[in-house]
């Protein structure tokens, strides 16, 4: 047995002992009798209410029965999940299995590091490329101190040549933040692999998870990885610092967006109109045109006669003033009399 084999065997023995000491008697399994009993009670009450013609009461009881059945279903689902775990505990990897896994890790990943002092096992993936975005290689580092109870905090995924999201430097992969993976559908697979001491499977599952992208639930989506350019000023902006114009759907940054004074909608510079009177901005749907001067104004500056405030004042003034011709003739008449 060479030195490397000895090291691997020592790690395997430690891990196997740990897995053995983690075996605890399975918890007592109890069926959801209380939830079932409650559903039965509601059902009996419904029959009684219908028999007596209390239709309103029976309808309300049907709603309560539905809730009770949902509760029962939830409890059954939880129970199903819970009893799967003790079943999985049936097979725990032997020392030979763990040794074989550690040897196979070298063939799968090439770059494997077993640190006896820190009790960690690390592998390095190839550079991960998702939808054309290169995220670099990742080191998957498993802490061997607590394989079962420590999950999911007992392993870290470290970007070795990070290309983090523009909006958040701690997000180095759509499903990795602060070196922790959001496991999604891999959660139970990873847990089972750790509980059974299947190290090779653990590293394969985590590396496959890193090679996959779930666009429905990322920390930062790949489409937003590098941020988006503001349509108006061209600045790169990330998801929580940008707004979509409600008319043309262009992205604008916090410096360039306009809020319509009437509908409060958010718009880009090309989709708003500045009021010729008060200089407030309103969207093209809310802005109006003065029927007299034809200038665009906000709704607040247009009166009921579709006149802007200036034209309204002007018209009022004109209607109050006597006609110029009459005034002139009266002045002329007065002048003639005096002469």
Partner 1 sequence: MKVLLINHDGGGFADYVEIVDGTTVAQLFEQQVGSGRASDYLIRVNRQPCPADQVLQEGDRVSFTPTKIEGALR
Give the binding range for partner 1 (CB under 8 A) out of 58-66, 185-193, 229-237, 312-320. 185-193
77 vs 329, which CB is nearer to partner 1? 77
40 vs 126, which CB is nearer to partner 1? 126
The answer to whether 208 contacts partner 1 (rule: CB under 8 A) is yes
The answer to whether 266 contacts partner 1 (rule: CB under 8 A) is no
The answer to whether 164 contacts partner 1 (rule: CB under 8 A) is no
The answer to whether 88 contacts partner 1 (rule: CB under 8 A) is yes
Q: Given the structure tokens 């802490």, which residue do they identify?
A: 143
Question: In the set 95, 219, 262, 310, which binds partner 1 (CB under 8 A)?
Answer: 219
Question: In the set 170, 211, 294, 330, which binds partner 1 (CB under 8 A)?
Answer: 211
The answer to whether 329 contacts partner 1 (rule: CB under 8 A) is no
Question: Cβ of residue 138: shortest distance to partner 1, in angstroms?
Answer: 13
68 vs 181, which CB is nearer to partner 1? 181
The answer to whether 198 contacts partner 1 (rule: CB under 8 A) is yes
Tell me the C-alpha distance between 136 and 32, whole Å. Answer: 49
Question: Cβ of residue 155: shortest distance to partner 1, in angstroms?
Answer: 14
Instruction: Identify residues 95-124 at the interface with partner 1 (CB under 8 A).
Output: 100-101, 104, 107
Strand-pairing partners, residue 122, are: 113, 141
The answer to whether 158 contacts partner 1 (rule: CB under 8 A) is no
Query: Cα-flanking dihedrals φ and ψ of residue 186, to 5°?
Result: -85, -10
Nearest residue to 199 (alpha-carbon basis) of 117, 109, 298 = 109
The answer to whether 26 contacts partner 1 (rule: CB under 8 A) is no
Query: Cα-flanking dihedrals φ and ψ of residue 297, to 5°?
Result: -135, 165
Phi-psi group of 184: left, alpha or beta (phi > 0 → left; psi -120 to 50 → alpha; rest → beta):
left
Query: Cα-flanking dihedrals φ and ψ of residue 7, to 5°?
Result: -60, -45
Question: Cβ of residue 92: shortest distance to partner 1, in angstroms?
Answer: 9
Say which DSSP state 180 is in: E
Helix axes 199-210, 187-195, angle to 10 degrees: 160
Helices (H), 22-155: 33-51, 55-88, 95-109
Count CA atoms closer than 13 A to 64's CA, side-chain side: 15
The answer to whether 226 contacts partner 1 (rule: CB under 8 A) is no
- CA–CA distances in Å: residue 253 to residues 102, 146, 180, 232, 235: 51, 47, 30, 8, 7
Residue 234: count other Cβ atoms within 10 Å of its Cβ: 9
Question: Cβ of residue 238: shortest distance to partner 1, in angstroms?
Answer: 18
77-114 in b/e form (b: 16+ CB < 10 A) is eeeeeeeeeeeebeebbebebbbbbbeebeeebeebeb
Say which DSSP state 198 is in: -
The answer to whether 216 contacts partner 1 (rule: CB under 8 A) is yes
Question: In the set 35, 181, 220, 271, which binds partner 1 (CB under 8 A)?
Answer: 181
Question: Cβ of residue 83: shortest distance to partner 1, in angstroms?
Answer: 12
Question: Cβ of residue 164: shortest distance to partner 1, in angstroms?
Answer: 16
> Could you tell me the two tokens for 280?
């407030």
The answer to whether 240 contacts partner 1 (rule: CB under 8 A) is no
54 vs 213, which CB is nearer to partner 1? 213
The answer to whether 224 contacts partner 1 (rule: CB under 8 A) is no
Residues that bind partner 1 (CB under 8 A): 84, 87-88, 91, 100-101, 104, 107, 174-176, 181-189, 192-193, 196, 198, 200-201, 204-205, 208-209, 211-214, 216-219
């Amino acid at each position: 047995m060479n030195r490397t084999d000895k090291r691997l065997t020592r790690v395997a023995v430690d891990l196997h002992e740990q897995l053995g000491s983690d075996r605890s008697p399975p918890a007592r399994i109890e069926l959801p009798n209380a939830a079932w009993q409650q559903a039965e009670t509601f059902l009996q009450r419904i029959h009684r209410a219908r028999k007596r013609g209390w239709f309103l009461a029976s309808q309300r009881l049907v709603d309560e029965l539905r809730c009770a059945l949902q509760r029962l279903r939830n409890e059954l689902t939880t129970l199903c999940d819970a009893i799967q775990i003790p079943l999985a505990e049936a097979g725990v990897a032997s020392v030979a299995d763990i040794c074989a896994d550690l040897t196979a890790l070298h063939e799968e990943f090439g770059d494997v590091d077993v640190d006896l002092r820190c009790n960690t096992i690390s592998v390095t993936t190839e550079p991960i490329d998702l939808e054309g975005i290169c995220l670099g290689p990742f080191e998957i580092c498993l802490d061997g101190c607590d394989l079962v109870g420590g999950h999911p905090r007992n392993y870290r995924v470290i970007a070795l040549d990070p290309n983090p999201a523009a909006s958040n430097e701690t997000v180095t992969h759509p499903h990795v933040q602060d070196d922790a993976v959001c496991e999604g559908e891999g959660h139970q697979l990873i847990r089972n692999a750790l509980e059974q001491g299947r190290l090779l499977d653990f590293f394969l599952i985590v590396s496959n998870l890193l090679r996959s992208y779930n666009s429905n639930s990322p920390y930062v989506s790949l489409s937003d990885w590098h941020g988006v350019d503001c349509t108006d000023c061209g600045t790169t902006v990330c998801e929580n610092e940008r707004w979509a114009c409600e008319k043309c759907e262009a992205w604008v940054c916090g410096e360039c967006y306009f809020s319509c004074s009437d509908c409060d909608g958010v718009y880009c510079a090309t989709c708003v109109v500045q009021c010729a009177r008060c200089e407030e901005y309103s969207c093209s749907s809310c802005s109006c045109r003065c029927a007299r001067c034809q200038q665009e104004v906000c709704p607040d500056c247009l009166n009921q006669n579709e006149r802007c405030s200036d034209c309204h004042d002007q018209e009022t003034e004109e209607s109050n003033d006597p006609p110029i011709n009459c005034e002139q003739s009266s002045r002329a008449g007065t002048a003639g009399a005096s002469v």
